[in-house]
Amino acid sequence: MKWKSRFASRTKQMRRSTIRELLKLTARPDMISFAGGLPAPELFPLEQMRRATECVLTQRGHAALQYGETEGVAELRDWLAARFSTKGIAVERANVLITTGAQQALDLIGRIFLDEGDAVIVENPTYLALLSAWRPWGVRFLPVISDASGMCVNELDPLFAQRPKLVYSVPNFQNPQGTTLGLEGRLRLLKLLRENDAVVVEDDPYGELRYEGEFLPHLFELDRGEGRVLHVGTFSKTIAPGLRLGWVIAPEEVIEKLVLAKQGADLHTSTFCQHVLYEMVREGLLEKRLPLLREAYQERRDAMLSALEEWFPRDASWTRPEGGMFLMVNLPANVDTAELLKLALQHKVAFVPGEEFHAAEGGRNTLRLNFSNSPPAVIEQGIQRLKTAVDELT
Ligand code: PMP
């Protein structure tokens, strides 16, 4: 069978990444991987999960194992609605859709909004899997620089002139750079959205993982119910990614269309997982867990920053995240980090080359490092190995 001619033209837009292939090697047990975006597994709430599962099976087992509503389990939607309601805005159950991770939320948003040729503003660099999810729709990505202070909002004017269908932003501890958009930038972005009658997708998987500095209001909150912000969240980084539970908070009219798209995708997110998760958060699991996660990740970030300080060349620089799970290193302009990765893997350490995260040119000399998935001593050792690879290449 000749398959090539049978695939849809959008399938051609789905890129296989050579880097992803290389990173399969990170599964080797002697490898130190700063590549994945993995939370610390030793902090997963196994005991609470066991108790919650027992409780759900005993009290609501039949409902929890049955098909459910596409919108999600009502109790969990209500819990999220209450959590996102502020003095100014009442979020209702009808504004909440439970999704199979934040990734599905992003995919569904792409499905209901994007036509071929539509312009979409993204930070450069930005979250890789957002580019993969939306590229097949034939969109034109309009990259805006994202630096140590997050999205460069002052550069947006000429891009708005191209009438983008959506703006995509990760305002807190961005993946890949770990950077955050300040309050002034957030207010300016909202002003621009109003002036240009535009909409932003606020993707916030890491916002709760702030271990330094002041919490900043979500774009969703600053929008004060005007409906210019589609807020996407997840329990992947605060509880466990294996549950595959995320959400969208949006105006009811948008949720209705997302529900139609979700029906075609997977009918609904696992009812069982939603019930178990609800049981855990209802009991206050997040309030207990978040301080532990923040403390552990801060320690790991500090270990990585001091190892970089000690081992990395003077002409290298890196971001200093106040939360989240990643930082980004800039090496001198002549270093190609895709080449560096090959050497690094020989020295049994892995990272993701920065170019992968760029919708436009740039980032060839940058690398993303994850610090949440390794204890401090391993981080120290991994950065030393990486330094050896850098020395060999330069
Ligand atoms: N958005 C961003 C910015 C992410 O970093 C991730 C996870 N790596 C996701 C969305 C997807 O998360 P989930 O596990 O909830 O699908």
Q: What is the tens place of the pLDDT at every residue in 328-347?
A: 999 999 999 999 999 999 99
List the beta bridge partners of residue 151.
Answer: 146
pLDDT at residue 18 above 70? no
Pocket test for ligand 1, best of 127, 177, 231, 266 (most atoms within 8 A of CB): 127
Examine the pLDDT at 311 and tell me if it is beyond 80. Answer: yes
Secondary structure of residue 230 in the 3-state scheme: strand
Q: How many CB atoms lie within 10 A of CB 244?
A: 18
157 φ/ψ angles, rounded to the nearest 5 degrees: -50, -55
Residue 277 has pLDDT above 90, yes or no: yes
pLDDT tens digits, one per residue of 63-102: 999 999 999 999 999 999 999 998 778 999 999 999 999 9
Burial 247-260 (b: 16+ CB within 10 A, else e): bbbbbeebbeebbe
Mean pLDDT of the chain: 95
Mean pLDDT for 6-29 is 81
Q: How far is the CA of 134 from the centre of ligand 1 (A)?
A: 14
Residue nearest to atom 5 of ligand 1 (CA): 175
pLDDT at position 104: 98
388 alpha carbon – ligand 1 mean position (Å): 31
Q: For residue 234, give the ligand 1 atom closest to its CA.
A: 15
pLDDT at residue 21 is higher than 90? no
Token couple for 179: 């950077």
Q: What is the mean pLDDT of residues 272-285?
A: 97
pLDDT above 90 (res 28): no
Q: Which of 213, 224, 237 is nearest to 186 (CA)?
A: 224
The pTM (predicted TM-score) of the whole model is: 0.97
Residue 56, H or E segment: helix 46-64
- How many Å is the maximal CA-CA distance in the chain? 62
pLDDT per residue as tens digits for the range 99-141? 999 999 999 999 999 999 999 999 999 999 999 999 999 999 9
Write out residues with Cβ below 6 Å of ligand 1: 37, 101-103, 127, 170, 175, 203, 205, 234, 236, 241, 246
